[in-house]
Amino acid sequence: MLVRSRTSYTVSRALKDHSGISIKTKQRVQLLAKELNYVPNSIARNLRNSSSKTIGVVIPNLQLDYSSRIINGMIQESREKGYQLVISESDHSYELEKDIIISMIKSGVDGILLSLTNFTKNIDHVLEAMEHCPIVLYDKVSDKVPCTKIIVDDEIGAKKAVEHLIQQGKKNILYINGPDHSFNAKKRLKGYKSALQSNNIIVIRFITKNFAYSSFLFPFYFV
């Protein structure tokens, strides 16, 4: 048993090109591995290293072109780093979002990239999940979660959009905002108001509502 253990140890180190193994032994082991079509067991290796080499991704809607571009970037970056993605769609369901996060943690992912649903007001499930694995919020985020966040500058974006309409001679601009608990929606509304105030337009008209993507309502309506 001791001899077999030592042999397995030597073979393992030879396959990893360990400096403590002679070149002759490495060549013999690698040649035999090739003849036997040996493939390293990445699952077992990851278990020893306490890493699954998988990252969970939770996204509200996979059908949007914007979403697919984000996912494509994640796939390329994770592939270069030797990781696999486990992607799941919450369909803007708060309950489904919670279930997905729990399932991913149980499956042993190394971390989770999370974009919140439009209906996520209570973030206790996110805070609890952070006790088990790292979480990064992206796109739809919450300022109540103390973690890394990847977002665009919604305030500047909304301000530039309104300023563009003003430059086209539009003055009566109605802004249709997202849910009032949304971090992103608050930033966009701030940008909208800032653009009007900067151009001395005192009539501010906006509607706050949790619009569904299927409603095909655009954020700016002008006359």
Task: Tell me: pLDDT of 19 over 90.
Answer: no
Q: Are 101 and 58 in contact (CB under 8 A)?
A: yes
Residues 59 and 142 in one domain: yes
Task: Tell me: pLDDT of 97 over 60.
Answer: yes
CA 38/CA 60 separation, integer angstroms: 41
Task: Tell me: pLDDT of 84 over 70.
Answer: yes
Confidence of residue 155 (pLDDT cuts 50, 70, 90): very high
Q: Given this model, what pLDDT does residue 5 score?
A: 42
Q: Given this model, what pLDDT does residue 219 score?
A: 46
**CB proximity list for 147: less than 8 A, separation 6 or greater:** 130, 134, 135, 136, 137
Residues 23 and 108 in one domain: no
Residues 112 and 75 in one domain: yes
- Mean of all residue pLDDT scores within the chain: 82
Residues 20 and 101 in one domain: no
Residues 142 and 69 in one domain: yes
45 part of a folded domain: no
Residues 204 and 146 in one domain: no
Task: Tell me: pLDDT of 176 over 80.
Answer: yes
Q: Given this model, what pLDDT does residue 82 score?
A: 92
80 dihedral zone (left: phi>0; alpha: psi -120 to 50; beta): alpha
Quote the DSSP letter at residue 153.
-
Task: Tell me: pLDDT of 87 over 90.
Answer: yes
Q: What is the pTM of this model?
A: 0.68
Q: Given this model, what pLDDT does residue 172 score?
A: 85
59 part of a folded domain: yes
63 part of a folded domain: yes
CATH number of the domain enclosing 193: 3.40.50.2300
Task: Tell me: pLDDT of 80 over 80.
Answer: yes
Q: Which residue segment(s) compose the domain that 60 sits in?
A: 51-150
Whole-number Cα distances in Å, 65 to 70, 71, 91, 205: 9, 10, 15, 29
Q: Given this model, what pLDDT does residue 20 score?
A: 72
Least confident of 65-79, 135-149, 208-222: 208-222
84 part of a folded domain: yes
Q: Given this model, what pLDDT does residue 9 score?
A: 61
pLDDT average, residue stretch 174-182: 82
Torsion angle, CA of 140/102/132/50, rounded to 10 degrees?
Answer: -110
pLDDT average, residue stretch 158-165: 94
Domain count, the chain: 3
Task: Tell me: pLDDT of 2 over 50.
Answer: no
- pLDDT tens digits, residue range 131-145? 999 999 999 999 899
Burial of 118 (0-12, 13-18, 19+ CB in 10 A): buried
Residues 76 and 117 in one domain: yes
- pLDDT tens digits, residue range 29-72? 778 777 766 655 554 555 455 678 999 999 999 888 888 899 99
Q: Given this model, what pLDDT does residue 43 score?
A: 47
